[in-house]
Amino acid sequence: MALQAASLLPSAVSIHKEGKSNASLKETGFFEVSVSDHLKAELSLGLSKNKELKRRKLPVGVIRAQTATTPAISQASPEGKKTLRKGNVIITGASSGLGLATAKALAETEKWHIIMACRNFLKADRAAKSAGIAKENYTVMHLDLASLESVRQFADNFRRSGRPLDVLVCNAAVYLPTAKEPTFTAEGFELSVGTNHLGHFLLSRLLLDDLKQTDYPSKRLIIVGSITGNTNTLAGNVPPKANLGDLRGLAGGLNGINGSPMIDGGEFDGAKAYKDSKVCNMLTMQEFHRRYHEETGITFASLYPGCIATTGLFREHIPLFRLLFPPFQKYITKGYVSEEEAGKRLAQVVTDPSLTKSGVYWSWNKNSASFQNQLSQEASDAEKARKVWEISEKLVGLA
């Protein structure tokens, strides 16, 4: 299957090779989350402590009141050193693959409490246990991204838990490459774009206020993207290519009844729908950045963690693909990365003080050093991002 696709490759593609390191970014330890690092991170956002407090309309010296939670920085450790409370991070789809590996990497630092936002509660709980995540470091909360009602309920439940929200990671996804006919979310949107983009779009919009309110020094909203949505790469030129067209299908509601289930208005293609959804993820991150970074200080970021060829993402693919894909990526494209390594990369985007730049799409080179990568023309089209945002807010009932 993979090799068949090679013969479909256009002969003249412009390839921006993922994997070049930006020398200006030096690698730092993954989990060095000291107070001074966090304050440095805050300074690098251009906010002095005083300005930040003024922006939140609070007098200097007062730590913002949280309902029944500990302030981010408490003064009272026995050695007289300032200590940072545990960060709270929501990770969608943390029951397997990248999400689970990230939860594990963060839990091992003992500096994070992970809210595993999953559609299958028991599977998530079992996964956390078998990954060795200590029970005081995680909470499973039900979230089905294929139902907007469930997304709203999740946001309400999370708020009722009284926890501050410091980082939100939109990670869950479905990939339906062999589907002949489209399937749909509870509200009738094509399942891949409905889950991967629209579910996360509503979730992020609903939880933005919680992120705004946290007193944690570095707050972040991360939306996982992918190389296959970027047509400036070899991987992104494997047919079917991502292409949102003029968004007529999205505007028509992706329901396949009075329009098309595809964003560009074309015939249903499951592999393309996934890649299109990743373009929406990367556009959404940038639109968030343009609308909210300056006002809120939140870091908005996306990433391609490498090709994690062994995850459940390929569960719907034919068995031959699942057999050949990992060795193909390991030995031929050399794009392969283990779940563990990919989890460390996403954990870096969650917590590393050197990755606080907003509006950025991160990738890693062969030495596992992070660098700010370029998005394709479509995935960085500001006008398209604005339109995707406006149509999406109508579809999810926010406008």
Q: Which chain residues interact with ligand PMR by CB under 6 A?
A: 1-3, 5-6, 175, 177, 226-228, 234-235, 238, 271, 274-275, 307, 333, 335
In sequence order, what E strands does the chain have? Answer: 73-74, 83-84, 87-92, 112-118, 138-142, 167-170, 220-224, 299-303, 360-364, 370-373
Shorter beta-carbon distance to ligand PMR: residue 215 or 269: 269
Q: How far apart are CA 359 and CA 210, in angstroms?
A: 20
Q: Which does 355 bind (CB under 5 to 8 A by kind): ligand PMR, ligand NDP, none?
A: none
Q: Which does 113 bind (CB under 5 to 8 A by kind): ligand NDP, ligand PMR, none?
A: none
Q: How far is CA 337 from the centre of its chain?
A: 18
Q: Measuring CA to CA, which residue among 192, 187, 167 is closest to residue 117?
A: 167
CB of 229 to ligand NDP, least distance (A): 9
> In this structure, how many other beta carbons lie within 10 angstroms of the beta carbon of residue 180?
7
Q: Which does 194 bind (CB under 5 to 8 A by kind): ligand NDP, ligand PMR, none?
A: none
Q: Which does 96 bind (CB under 5 to 8 A by kind): ligand NDP, ligand PMR, none?
A: ligand NDP
Q: How far apart are CA 263 and CA 139, in angstroms?
A: 35
Residue nearest to ligand NDP (CB): 97
Which one of residues 18, 38, 85, 95 is an interface residue with ligand NDP (CB under 6 A)? 95
Shorter beta-carbon distance to ligand PMR: residue 225 or 256: 225
CB of 325 to ligand NDP, least distance (A): 9
Distance in Å from the first CA to the final CA of the chain: 42
The stretch near ligand NDP (CB under 6 A) out of 5-13, 15-23, 55-63, 96-104 is: 96-104
Sequence-distant (6+) residues with CB within 8 A of 5 are: 238, 239
Q: Looking at residues 107 to 146 of the shown chain, list those that interact with ligand NDP (rule: CB under 6 A).
A: 118-120, 123, 143-146
In the numeric block, the tokens 């995680």 are attached to 138
Q: At what angle are helices 200-213 and 382-395 packed, to 10 degrees?
A: 100
Sequence-distant (6+) residues with CB within 8 A of 288 are: 204, 221, 298, 300
# residues near ligand NDP by CB under 6 A: 30
Shorter beta-carbon distance to ligand PMR: residue 38 or 317: 317
Which 3-state string (H, E, C) describes 34-73? CHHHHHHHHHHCCCCHHHHHHHCCCCCCCCCCCCCCCCCE
Q: Which does 123 bind (CB under 5 to 8 A by kind): ligand PMR, ligand NDP, none?
A: ligand NDP
Q: Which does 265 bind (CB under 5 to 8 A by kind): ligand NDP, ligand PMR, none?
A: none
Shorter beta-carbon distance to ligand PMR: residue 56 or 334: 334
Shorter beta-carbon distance to ligand PMR: residue 102 or 228: 228
- Do 125 and 180 touch, CB atoms closer than 8 A? no
Q: Which does 2 bind (CB under 5 to 8 A by kind): ligand PMR, ligand NDP, none?
A: ligand PMR
Q: Which does 312 bind (CB under 5 to 8 A by kind): ligand NDP, ligand PMR, none?
A: ligand NDP
Shorter beta-carbon distance to ligand PMR: residue 6 or 399: 6
In sequence order, what E strands does 86-244 have? Answer: 87-92, 112-118, 138-142, 167-170, 220-224
Q: Looking at residues 300 to 359 of the shown chain, list those that interact with ligand NDP (rule: CB under 6 A).
A: 304-305, 307-309, 311-313
- Do 140 and 125 touch, CB atoms closer than 8 A? yes
Q: Which does 103 bind (CB under 5 to 8 A by kind): ligand NDP, ligand PMR, none?
A: none
Regarding 206 and contact with ligand NDP (CB under 6 A), the answer is: no
- Do 206 and 155 touch, CB atoms closer than 8 A? yes
Residue nearest to ligand PMR (CB): 335
Q: Measuring CA to CA, which residue among 348, 274, 305, 321 is closest to residue 98?
A: 305
Regarding 166 and contact with ligand NDP (CB under 6 A), the answer is: no
Q: How far is CA 309 from the centre of its chain?
A: 18
Q: How far is CA 354 from the centre of its chain?
A: 18
Residues that bind ligand NDP (CB under 6 A): 92-93, 95-99, 118-120, 123, 143-146, 171-174, 195, 224, 226, 304-305, 307-309, 311-313
